């Protein structure tokens, strides 16, 4: 059985009882921690009074201790909770076999919680993960995307008896809040807790949130390209400034932007040669949400425009690596800013005001 994090609480309250095994996997620390805490609390309430924790680290981990613990009689409680933590997400050959044996012989008096990081497609199709999935409940914890963050914040505020105003003011408040905490849900939860301490239940105004919420956003370099392709110039520049402040390498930021431009050019040429769009996207290694962005922007970009953008990316590459170019800023981050603005300008509708390219 597979559940989303928001479905877990209702499942744990189900009168039919707990499943013998729960697997939590994903790379969002706050939501993974909350899911594991909820399972532990439900286990304690159901009488699982003894707890054993095994953290799998290295190739020489003793899996026989895990298998033995599951079958051993408890000295202190009738029911036990066993946690198996695999921080790498790679149990290895011995661990894979041990997990499958473990799932085949789950004892009645043991509830097992397996904690894993984000898994790739190969790991999700592995025999050991299939055994975990078949033996109990799997909770996949995905990051909260920026477009979903205002709704997530509103739900968390409601849970603590607070809400923003209706209409445009409330949307502005949530958008401001989301900009301050993007990519950092642990800090977002701390800021929510601060609002609960500072203000009573009821409606929160924009000024109250503005005064209370710190700027604790953390930006993902790979999401910068999505903001650029979506034409979100303000957000893209904010992310660029944030990545600079966080000490991100300009070379990686440039690679992300240039890769998108080269992929757009490759897909455009494939379409001109008669290739279907899905095939062209797959050949350019464009998947997931970026497919929709490519589908939207490709009709707006001619081959000559793409050639100019790719040439600009090449110039920016030289500046990032210490070279100079006439008409371009000397600083690597200023050059990246210009490349972002050139790309967004090319995506703007005809007749829209030109962007100011220099910092």
Question: 131 and 8, same structural domain?
Answer: yes
> Pick from 170, 190, 212: which residue ends a domain?
212
Question: 133 and 39, same structural domain?
Answer: yes
Residues facing 24 on adjacent strands: 115, 139
Question: 197 and 93, same structural domain?
Answer: no
> Pick from 169, 186, 212: which residue ends a domain?
212
Question: 244 and 202, same structural domain?
Answer: no
Per-residue pLDDT at 71: 80
Pairing of strands 110-116, 162-164: unpaired
What CATH number does the domain containing 171 carry?
A: 1.10.8.60
Cα–Cα distance measured from residue 113 to residue 103, given in angstroms and rounded to the nearest whole number: 12
**Residue 57 domain boundaries:** 2-141
Which stretches of the chain score pLDDT less than 70?
15, 73-77, 349-359
pTM for this model (two decimals): 0.67
Per-residue pLDDT at 216: 74
Cα–Cα distance measured from residue 1 to residue 262, given in angstroms and rounded to the nearest whole number: 41
Question: 206 and 110, same structural domain?
Answer: no
> Pick from 141, 169, 201: which residue ends a domain?
141
Question: 169 and 226, same structural domain?
Answer: no
Residue 134 lies in a domain: yes
Residue 129 lies in a domain: yes
Give residue for tokens 């202190």.
76
Question: 128 and 7, same structural domain?
Answer: yes
- Run of H or E including 55: strand 48-55
Per-residue pLDDT at 107: 83
Residue 284 lies in a domain: yes
Residue 356 lies in a domain: no
Question: 64 and 181, same structural domain?
Answer: no
Residue 353 lies in a domain: no
What CATH number does the domain containing 37 carry?
A: 3.40.50.300
Cα–Cα distance measured from residue 103 to residue 42, given in angstroms and rounded to the nearest whole number: 21
Residues facing 3 on adjacent strands: 139
Residue 355 lies in a domain: no
Question: 164 and 63, same structural domain?
Answer: no
Residue 352 lies in a domain: no
Residues 6+ apart with CB under 8 A from 246: 218, 219
Residue 135 lies in a domain: yes
What CATH number does the domain containing 310 carry?
A: 1.20.272.10
Structural domain total, the chain: 3
Question: 66 and 26, same structural domain?
Answer: yes
Q: Which two tokens stand for residue 122?
A: 């190969």
Question: 65 and 128, same structural domain?
Answer: yes
Question: 130 and 153, same structural domain?
Answer: no
Specify whether the CB–CB gap between 163 and 204 falls below 8 A. Answer: yes
């Amino acid at each position: 059985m597979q559940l989303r994090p928001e479905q877990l609480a209702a499942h744990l309250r189900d009168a039919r009882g707990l499943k013998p095994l729960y697997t939590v996997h994903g790379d969002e620390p706050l939501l993974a921690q909350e899911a594991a805490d909820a399972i532990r609390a439900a286990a304690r309430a159901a009488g699982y009074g003894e707890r054993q924790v095994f953290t799998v680290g290295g190739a020489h981990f003793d899996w026989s201790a895990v298998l033995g613990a599951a079958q051993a009689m408890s000295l202190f409680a009738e029911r036990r909770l066993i946690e198996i933590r695999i921080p790498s997400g790679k149990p290895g050959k011995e661990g894979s076999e041990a997990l499958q044996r473990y799932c085949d012989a789950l004892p009645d008096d043991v509830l097992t919680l397996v904690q894993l990081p984000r898994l790739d497609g190969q790991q999700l199709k592995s025999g050991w993960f299939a055994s975990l999935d078949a033996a109990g409940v799997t909770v996949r914890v995905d990051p909260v995307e920026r477009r979903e963050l205002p709704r997530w914040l509103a739900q968390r505020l409601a849970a603590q008896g607070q809400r923003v105003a209706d209409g445009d003011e409330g949307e502005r408040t949530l958008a401001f809040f989301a900009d301050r905490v993007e990519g950092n849900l642990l800090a977002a939860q701390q800021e929510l807790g601060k609002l609960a301490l500072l203000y009573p239940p009821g409606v929160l105004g924009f000024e109250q949130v503005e005064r209370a919420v710190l700027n604790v956003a953390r930006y993902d370099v790979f999401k910068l390209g999505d903001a650029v392709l979506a034409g979100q110039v303000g957000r893209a520049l904010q992310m660029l400034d944030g990545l600079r402040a966080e000490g991100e390498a300009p070379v990686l930021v440039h690679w992300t932007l240039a890769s998108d431009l080269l992929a757009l050019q490759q897909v455009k040429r494939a379409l001109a040669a008669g290739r279907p769009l899905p095939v062209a996207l797959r050949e350019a290694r464009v998947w997931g949400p970026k497919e929709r962005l490519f589908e939207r922007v490709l009709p707006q970009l001619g081959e000559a425009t793409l050639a100019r953008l790719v040439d600009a990316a090449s110039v920016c590459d030289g500046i990032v690596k210490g070279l100079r170019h006439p008409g371009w800023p000397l600083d690597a981050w200023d050059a990246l800013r210009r490349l972002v603005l050139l790309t967004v300008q090319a995506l703007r509708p005809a007749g829209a005001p030109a962007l100011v390219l220099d910092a």
